[in-house]
Amino acid sequence: MKRQIIFSGVQPSGRLTLGNYLGALRNWKELQYSYDCLFAIVDLHAITVRQNPKLFRSQCYDSIALYLASGLESKLNHIFLQSHVPAHGQLAWILNCYTYIGELSRMTQFKDKSQRHQANINAGLFTYPTLMAADILLYKTNLVPVGADQKQHLELARDLAMRFNGIYGDIFTIPEIYQPPLGARIMSLQEPNKKMSKSTTDLNATIFLSDAPDEIVAKFKRAVTDSENEIYFDANKKPGISNLLTIFAMVTNRSMEEIVEEFRGYGYGKFKSLVADSVVEYLRPLQGKYNKLRGEQLYLDSILLEGANYATKLSQITLAKVYDSLGFIVY
């Protein structure tokens, strides 16, 4: 049987975090054995916010090295830069013409980013969800692993696909959300009611995958908890300690119930140190592979070239159907 297609992408703006790994990259490794996977570094999305060109280019290579270090095998997946496949921009323009202003105005991420980047509220930031829809629909994607903050964008992609199909026939596959067997939403160490972010200005709030062991230990020591000094899971009453418990459960592959029972009566300081040491050991193999791969730029370029060639061929099939349905002259 033909395997279902999964598409997912991460922006190369900022360094990838422990949250990115536990919530996405770790799960991707398992997907590659059961699905046809396309993993994009969505660099076009990243420029809705001003980027330092030299740093931005370096972060793109950082991302591909981390994808591979996380266990994605180049022979099983197609890994590429979004900007290397012209059809993303081409389809995005067409979908813009089928997307209503009201739909884009309701996007919560646009409202959030507009508040944080008031000096640069650009048209790309507004139409970002339409480009994301193009990313997904180009490849006849069946399943999309997305976090809670991206579900609204996937719903728009589904609406656009159904709208277009309703006018022109069976052109796009309607994508579904992929829910991993075990997910983890890792929160900020300083504001545990907010997701851990790679774009944060508070470096103590985020564990980056490239952090040195002493940096990781120091950040966990400063992690916000509460005054109660009892270890149990309650995301509403105790978001800080609950976040640490989630991280510890994920990196040790143990159940929450077992951990809470074992550390009943522990002080927060001792538990923070234990979580920090566990994260350091958990990331050690990943960091070793990453450091080796990051120095092999020719190899990384070869992976990106193969991925872009495959993605271009696949995307052109969908784009040609779209062009033909609209009445464009297609040779």
Residues designated as active site:
113, 195, 198
Would you say the C-alpha torsion 197, 199, 204, 210 has a positive or negative sign? positive
Measured between alpha carbons, how far is 244 from 250 in angstroms, rounded to an integer?
10
Read off the tokens for 72: 């994605």
Q: Which residue reads 């990453």 in tokens?
A: 290
**Burial call 32-62: b when 16+ CB within 10 Å, e when fewer:** beebbbbbbbbbbbbebbebeeeeeeebbbb
Contact 246, 227 (CB under 8 A): no
End-to-end CA distance of the chain: 32
Contact 94, 133 (CB under 8 A): no
Amino acid in position 98: Y
The pair phi, psi for residue 163, each rounded to 5°, is: -65, -45
Three-class SS of residue 47?
A: coil
Q: Is 101 exposed, middle or buried (0-12, 13-18, 19+ CB in 10 A)?
A: exposed
The closest alpha carbon to 186, from 234, 241, 244, belongs to: 244
Q: Which residue reads 């490849």 in tokens?
A: 139
Residues forming a β-bridge with 128: none
Read off the tokens for 67: 């994808």
